[in-house]
Structure 1
Amino acid sequence: MSQPAPIFDRALIAAHLARRSGETDFVIDLVLADLEDRLITLIRAFPKALIIGPDPERLPAFGLTAQGQFAFERLPAFSPDDELPEIAGSDYNLIVSVLHLQAVNDVPGYLARLRARLAPDGLLMVAALGGDTLTELREAFLAADALVLGGASARVAPMIQVRDAGALLQRAGLALPVADVETHIVRYSSPFALMAELKALGAANPLVDRAKRFATPALLSAAASAYIERDGDPDGRVRATLEIIWLSGWAPHESQQQPLKPGSAKVRLGDVLGKS
């Protein structure tokens, strides 16, 4: 069976990340702060834990749960050769994937491969950019493309919708799937300031089917104008949506809560509701 055509250019993503300026990445800072808050609520020890992300040196070396501190192994996420770095062992109690899933061509396969590296009752946590991220920039370029070029080009990557997340986790063989979303509104002095930051963070267009010519000054000016008209604030700044989707699921284990078998209920629903 043939594989579907890739959406993302892995080699280009790796090249973009390699050229970054080294400035602070506020997006990963937000995600890692949220990860800390989520881990501390868990009454669980993780003697073997792995974290995967675009910047191994920026990833935490340690995590903290309600049962104490644990060490993370750290791996780089993006490689020109494969969507998932080589992971030694298949007995991890915790695997965390940070800001990688939104640039993966085979999302179900990626999740299934991580699931295969978990020990029984091991936890997988994934943070990825959600479908509403940069929706303002996407709409501005659609308007500019129509005005200047007479058609649309793929300029902002498609991203995961939270409504699809639970099914993806179940398809990967994970139990007790949970998906939730954190939405942040970030403001910039201008659309050009946003575009410059995206480039500095290595987040330029990663699509295989991207326009092969550089955006012209006329196109950029039209996009900026459309952006300001649609999403500008009275003080002259513009808004940008940042949506972080969190997915979590556990490798199946007999100790986990199981759904009751059909017909095994001992109390009628009508009795509970007070109906005859």
Structure 2
Amino acid sequence: MIESRVPQIFSARRRRVRWLRALAEQRRGGAADFVFRSMAEELEERLDFMQVRPNSVLLSGDPTGLAQAALATRANSVLAVAPSDHDEEAAFDGSFDLIASLGTLDTVNDVPGALIHLRAALAPGGIAMVSFVGAGSLANLRRALLAAEPDRPAARMHPMIDVQAGSALMQRAGFARQVADGYTLRVRYGALDRLVEDLRDQALTNVLAAPPPPLSRTALQRARDAFADAADEDGRVTELFEIVTLTGWKD
């Protein structure tokens, strides 16, 4: 029998280091938090719309703590965990009424396996809500990095999941019902360096298993120039963050 091996696209160690660095920045104060603030607000709105008041919640991700604070007013018990060093997002028995995963699922090597673990951790009738930065995001950053190394560009941004693929993944994981949708955040930047700083603050930089070498000083300047070329008449570049949200119910 031939064992199928999951491709190791992401590094668990780099993922953990990225998370701890962002967590420290958030606790220090003044760090960018707009992606996770938006995810927390979206989670609140969806729970209120569905009139869901869970008894027990498992929360993965959320370096800002904003989702945890929101859930604390809606649930009797909230267990907040850091992203796992392994591909399973939740190795727990089926006791949670709600599992929320924010900004973590897109950087596991075995996404179907992680979703199966999430489903297994839910109680019957429980709901999983998964949000992450999806395909179509950061187009100006992607173009700038390609311009930095025009001859042999290195892989500096990881693959992203779109809404359609997310829906198929939820079906594959065995959720009884599933909804996949998304929305767009638009953020304006005066310089590439500020965008990179915001990504670091929110644990959104790449965690590829085979990290590329640092850009040379010349290549970095080419990237800055290419990013600036996309500026509007006010000298600002509009970058898009496409937030994908997957919602699934367990029988």
Residues 105-132 of structure 1: CA deviation (Å, up to 9, x unaligned)? 1110000110011122211111111111
Of 80, 84, 88, 1:79 maps to 84
Of 7, 12, 15, 1:5 maps to 7
Residues 47-67 of structure 1: CA deviation (Å, up to 9, x unaligned)? 222211152844424538xxx
Q: Gaps spanning 5+ residues in structure 2: where?
A: none
CA contact (8 A) 1:178 1:248 kept: yes
CA contact (8 A) 1:61 1:73 kept: no
1:224 and 1:53, CA in 2 relative to 1: closer, same or farther beyond 3 A?
A: same
Residues 209-262 of structure 1: CA deviation (Å, up to 9, x unaligned)? 221x22111111111111222x2111111111111101111112xxxxxxxxxx
SS of the aligned residue for 1:94 comes to strand
Residues 30-54 of structure 1: CA deviation (Å, up to 9, x unaligned)? 1101111111011344222221115
Spell out structure 1 runs of 4+ moving beyond 6 A. Answer: none
1:158 and 1:72, CA in 2 relative to 1: closer, same or farther beyond 3 A?
A: farther
Of 54, 57, 76, 1:49 maps to 57
Q: CA deviation at 1:87?
A: 4.2
Match of 1:217 in 2: 217
- 1:177 has 2:178 as partner: yes
Report the AA paired with residue 107 of structure 1.
V
Higher RCO by CA contacts (8 Å cutoff, separation 6 or greater): 2
Structure 2 matches for 1:112-151, cutoff 5 A?
A: 112-146=116-150, 150-151=151-152
CA contact (8 A) 1:55 1:76 kept: no
Q: CA deviation at 1:71?
A: 3.0
Of 30, 35, 40, 2:43 maps to 35
Residues 11-41 of structure 1: CA deviation (Å, up to 9, x unaligned)? 1121122233232422111110111111101
Aligned partners of 1:76 and 1:45: how far apart in 2? 20
CA contact (8 A) 2:181 2:244 kept: yes
1:197 and 1:62, CA in 2 relative to 1: closer, same or farther beyond 3 A?
A: closer
Q: Gaps spanning 5+ residues in structure 1: where?
A: 253-276
Match of 1:63 in 2: 71
Deviates more, 1:48-57 or 1:119-128: 48-57
Report the identity percentage: 33
Aligned partners of 1:143 and 1:24: how far apart in 2? 26
Match of 1:236 in 2: 235
SS of the aligned residue for 2:42 comes to helix
Q: CA deviation at 1:6?
A: 0.9
Report the AA paired with residue 236 of structure 2.
R
TM-score norm. by structure 2 comes to 0.89
CA contact (8 A) 2:190 2:237 kept: yes
